Structures are given as C-alpha cells and as structure tokens.
Amino acid sequence: MIHMLTWFSTTFILINFCRGSNLEHDGWVNIKLEHCLLPSDSPIFTDRGNITIQSLRLGQAIVNQNSLTQEERVQLKEMAATNQFYQIRSTVVSNDGTENVFLSTIKACMLAEAQLDDRLSVSLDYTGRVIGITLLIASKSTCEGAVVPLSKLKEFTTSVYVRHPEVGPVPDTASYIQKMEREREAKERGEVKDNRSILAKYWMYIVPVVILLMVSSMANPEAAANGGGASR
C-alpha cells in the first residue's frame, strides 16, 4: 500500500515537473523591426518600428510602426511590380538580456496587395525563448496582380501572434536545467519576483505528503486492531 502511494506521489511530482516547464515563468520581449525596401546583394535595413510583447504567456503586444514615406511607398510598389522579395530583420531583446536576430521574407506583391496588413508570428520554445519570427500575409496565398494605389501603402496594420510550442510534456533535462540556470540568474539580478505564497509554490509537493499522511493514519487503527500495536 505504502509502496503504491510512494509510486503515486513520485509519478505525480514527475508529471508536475514536466508540465511546469511549459512556460511556467512569463517574460517580455522587445522587438526592433527593420525592413529592406531597396533589394540588393547587401540589403540595407531601415527602421520599421518596435513591438513590445509584455506577456509571452498571454501574447499581448504593443505595436509602434512608422508610416511609409512617399518615397518608401514608391519603392515598395516598384518591388511588387518587379516581383521582388520584401525582407524584414527582427532584433529580439528578451528580459534576460539576450539579443537574437531573425530574418523573414515575403513577396513584395503580397504585402502590397494586402495593403500592408501583415502578421508577425513569434515562435517560442517551451522555456519561453523566442526561436523564430516570421512575417506572413494571412489574407492571401498568391499575388493576383491587383493595382494598389499608393495611398493604401501608408500604414502597417500588423497583428502579432505568439506561438507556443505544440509538443506535449517531453522530459528534456538539459533544457530544463538551462531554464533553471537562467531563472536563477534573473532572480539574482532581482528581475523575477515570485510573490506566490509557499502553498501556491509547493502545493505539488505538499499534496502527496498530505495524502500519504491521511492514508497511513487511516491504515493505523486497522493495524492496531489486527497486530496489537506492532509497528508494521
């Protein structure tokens, strides 16, 4: 009986260990967005705007983007007409101070025909780190050759989607240890504040112990009746 309970609580703790690693600690990121409107072998990127994702868990983003100048609108229209690619460079600064750069490319005509209504997909691994940023056009899959007036190429209306890892709880000790290391470092710098009560933090350890105590106290009177008080 006790054997089975020990097994049960160990399994219970293990399940929580794995599940807890799926974005247990929330974080924020700042993304500096740049784009290239003059395609060449060595692209020159200019400022497009900034995105702040305040909560990776909730996917809340604040998007601040420049309007395209008349000159930039003409450049984009020209890129679309000549079937060139529009490229963005996203520089991600995370709350642990790391900086990562991601490039993403779409056909300029898709962006133009969607009238700058694009989507930024931010992919996370299960430790909450950004592992990719992809630019997409949700409303189109091909260019239709529509003529878009320059006045419709002024403002980006970008929606940001935070993609959480789809895989279920897979025990990955190396990443888990890395994650713990990063959290420890963040805690040392006083960035991560864990204000939850002891009970909220450690309930997964407390519950099995309580169950264990309850069951053994239920089992004891029985043992006392049968064995006359002999321990076990």
Ligand X SMILES: *[C@@H]1O[C@H](CO)[C@@H](O)[C@H](O)[C@H]1NC(C)=O
Q: Summarize as ranges the residues that interact with ligand X (CB under 6 A).
A: 49-50, 64-66
Of 52 and 100, nearer to ligand X (C-beta) is 52
Q: Are strands 29-36 and 119-124 parallel, antiparallel or unpaired?
A: unpaired
Q: Give the nearest distance from C-beta 45 to ligand X in angstroms.
A: 13
The single-letter code of the amino acid at 62 is I
Q: In what order do the strands lie in the sheet with 159-163?
A: 130-136, 119-124, 159-163
CB half-sphere exposure, 45, CA atoms < 13 A: 17
Of 48 and 107, nearer to ligand X (C-beta) is 48
Burial class (CB within 10 angstroms; exposed 0-12, middle 13-18, buried 19+) of 66:
middle
Of 53 and 109, nearer to ligand X (C-beta) is 53
Of 12 and 45, nearer to ligand X (C-beta) is 45
Q: Give the nearest distance from C-beta 48 to ligand X in angstroms.
A: 8
Q: Give the nearest distance from C-beta 32 to ligand X in angstroms.
A: 7
Q: Give the nearest distance from C-beta 22 to ligand X in angstroms.
A: 31
**φ/ψ of residue 123, rounded to 5:** -95, 135
Of 54 and 175, nearer to ligand X (C-beta) is 54
Q: Give the nearest distance from C-beta 212 to ligand X in angstroms.
A: 55
